[in-house]
Amino acid sequence: MSDTTAAVIAGQEAAIHAAMTAGGSYWRGTSPLKIGQLRSAFACALHMHQPTIPAGADGALISHLQYMFEHPGEGDNHNAEPFAQCYRRLADLIPQLISEGCSPRIMLDVSGNLLWGAEQMGRSDITAAWRHLACDPLMQQHVEWLGTFWSHAVAPSTPIPDLRLQIEAWQHQFAHAFGIEALQRVRGFSLPEMALPNHPETLFALIEALRQAGYRWVLLQEHSVETLSGEPLSEAQKYLPNRLIARNGNGQSTEITALIKTQGSDTKLVGQMQPCYEALSRDRLPLGDITLPSLVSQIADGENGGVMMNEFPQAFIQAHQRIAGEHGTASINGSEFLELLEADGISPEQFPAIQAVGQHRLYGLLPERWSHEQLEQAIAALKASEQGFSIDGASWTNDLSWVKGYESVLEPMQSLSAAFHQRFSGPLSADPSLSSSPVYRECLLHLLLLETSCFRYWGQGVWTDYAREIHRRGMACLA
């Protein structure tokens, strides 16, 4: 099947902005949970993604899932249908548990690539399942969708102007699939690869873009952040909401609420519902002169690996059956937890403050207000004096860089981004009809696609070739 269904990534900026800045609460009016009666809770998220690649008929852009179906003999492509079933199965599991008297919760992070790809493929079973989970009033009490970047870009090495484009493109794709009202409920954000920028300029731009897009909180990996004094988070602090603070050279600061995912990249944590059983062993934690329930937060690939394909469904069912009669521990979603805290008079200003890892050392070399040149000089000084200091951001694990060794993809990405913003800048960018034009959308599509993490994660070879071809087409579009 060729690329006959267009990606919906731009054109409705004003309507989406109005909807996302309208405010309001979405959980406190329907949640049966009482924060004051809970010792602990657990919040689990499933991340699902398939990249878009130029590998269809005559080089058409298709979902990698479609490629798996068409090339079953390559690698693990025989898992194409099991993957497809993983994408839709929550629409069966959640109603089953509700019918048994359980109160399940799950958060879903589905990339724009995959939202588009399932539609391209005509997999109405998947899209209908997602629509049920996103739009049915009963399902909305149990399922929270998380925003993300449209093409699973890695935030620390994505050009700063493109962070907003990635965020808005995903909102367009989601609204196209499920409607503006469903999008209004999407208030938490999941960073692809949990990659948090620690370069001050990038982090500040990211948080501002998230806030302007209407997001209220973000899910972070524990070792991607530090306290304002540069220390790792305390054991207790990992299970409380925090405030992620960012500063810029003008002396301004911005912040967003953060929930902390503990431990590294291990799908078994969610695949075997470890967060549930950890939560059962935890108690309330002090926050100033009050206490809050401990919150165990985890995210894992929703389909990748034998544990998620085979063990997760039964583990998910068993965990929620286990706590059905448990009054002190509950399954909860991120926005639900935060809204219930707010309903109890607990505001984000009371949460501990954190920043991206390594920033304490950096700020120690900078004045209160700094120039870009001063910032780069401080970064260079720390790299020269402190072995292992990096401003490339942090993700699932401390030893994974999304920059080193990937120049063959990063340099074309930077050049395409620069060309895109040069083409669509100045007076032209103020035209509200610009984002609706076919040329703009085609150029934007290739820019977003080139920033997909998979072209780096899978290393040299065919994936680099895909990136090179997308870059070529993007530059041709801009010519």
Name residue 389's amino acid.
F
189 and 112 share a domain? yes
CA 446 to chain centre: 20
Per-residue pLDDT of the chain (479 residues), as tens digits, is: 334 478 999 999 999 999 999 888 999 989 999 999 999 999 999 999 999 999 999 999 999 999 999 999 998 899 999 999 999 999 999 999 999 999 999 999 999 999 999 999 999 999 999 999 999 999 999 999 999 999 999 999 899 999 999 999 999 999 999 999 999 999 999 999 999 999 999 999 999 999 999 999 999 999 999 999 999 999 999 999 999 999 999 999 999 999 999 986 666 789 999 999 999 999 999 999 999 999 999 999 999 888 999 999 999 999 999 999 878 999 999 999 999 999 999 999 999 999 999 999 999 999 999 999 999 999 999 999 887 788 876 654 444 443 444 455 678 889 999 999 999 986 666 677 899 999 999 999 999 999 998 886 555 678 889 999 999 999 999 98
Element (H, E) at 472: helix 462-478
- Which tokens is 112 given? 């724009």
Q: What is the reported pLDDT for 427?
A: 67
Q: Which DSSP string do the residues of 59-114 spell out, in sequence order?
A: G-EEEHHHHHHH-TTSTTGGGHHHHHHHHHTHHHHHHHHHHTT----EEEEE-HHH
* Cα distance from N-terminal residue to C-terminal residue, the chain: 29
Contacts 24+ apart (CB under 8 A), 93-101: 93/313, 93/316, 93/317, 94/133, 94/139, 94/142, 94/143, 95/139, 96/317, 97/317, 97/320, 97/321, 98/138, 98/142, 100/321, 100/324, 101/324
Q: Which residue has the tokens 């065919």?
A: 462
Is the full-model pTM beyond 0.85?
yes
Q: What is the reported pLDDT for 165?
A: 96
340 and 454 share a domain? no
333 and 457 share a domain? no
64 exposure class (CB count in 10 Å sphere: 0-12, 13-18, 19+): buried
The span from the CA of 225 to the CA of 244, in Å, is 8
Closest by CA to 191, choosing from 228, 166, 227, is 166
210 and 304 share a domain? yes
The span from the CA of 335 to the CA of 345, in Å, is 15
The span from the CA of 270 to the CA of 276, in Å, is 9
350 and 230 share a domain? yes
Closest by CA to 150, choosing from 470, 452, 473, is 452
Q: How many domains does the chain have?
A: 2
Residues with Cβ < 8 Å from 132, sequence gap 6 or more? 91, 139
Name residue 28's amino acid.
R
Is there a domain that residue 342 lies in? yes
The span from the CA of 80 to the CA of 74, in Å, is 11
The β-bridge relationship of strands 285-287 and 290-292 is antiparallel
Is there a domain that residue 335 lies in? yes
The span from the CA of 140 to the CA of 167, in Å, is 22
Is there a domain that residue 369 lies in? no
317 and 438 share a domain? no
Q: Are 435 and 10 in contact (CB under 8 A)?
A: yes
350 and 450 share a domain? no
345 and 250 share a domain? yes
Q: Are 354 and 244 in contact (CB under 8 A)?
A: yes
- Which tokens is 92 given? 């069966």
Q: What is the reported pLDDT for 400?
A: 45
The span from the CA of 274 to the CA of 89, in Å, is 20
Q: Are 196 and 155 in contact (CB under 8 A)?
A: yes
Element (H, E) at 377: helix 372-385
Q: Are 157 and 203 in contact (CB under 8 A)?
A: no
Is there a domain that residue 418 lies in? no
Q: What is the reported pLDDT for 460?
A: 66
- Domain end position, chosen among 334, 355, 376: 355
Is there a domain that residue 454 lies in? yes
346 and 471 share a domain? no
447 and 328 share a domain? no
- Domain end position, chosen among 340, 355, 370: 355
Is there a domain that residue 370 lies in? no
Is there a domain that residue 85 lies in? no
What DSSP state is assigned to residue 44?
E
Structural domain boundaries, residue 455: 423-479
472 and 343 share a domain? no
Q: Which residue has the tokens 């050049």?
A: 415
Residues with Cβ < 8 Å from 70, sequence gap 6 or more? none
Is there a domain that residue 466 lies in? yes
- Domain end position, chosen among 328, 355, 382: 355
Q: Is the dihedral of CA 313, 315, 318, 319 positive or negative?
A: negative
Alpha helices in 100-215 (DSSP H): 112-120, 124-135, 160-178, 180-184, 200-212
Q: What is the reported pLDDT for 458?
A: 56
Q: Give the CATH number of the domain where residue 166 resides.
A: 3.20.110.20
The span from the CA of 289 to the CA of 298, in Å, is 27
CA 157 to chain centre: 15
331 and 468 share a domain? no
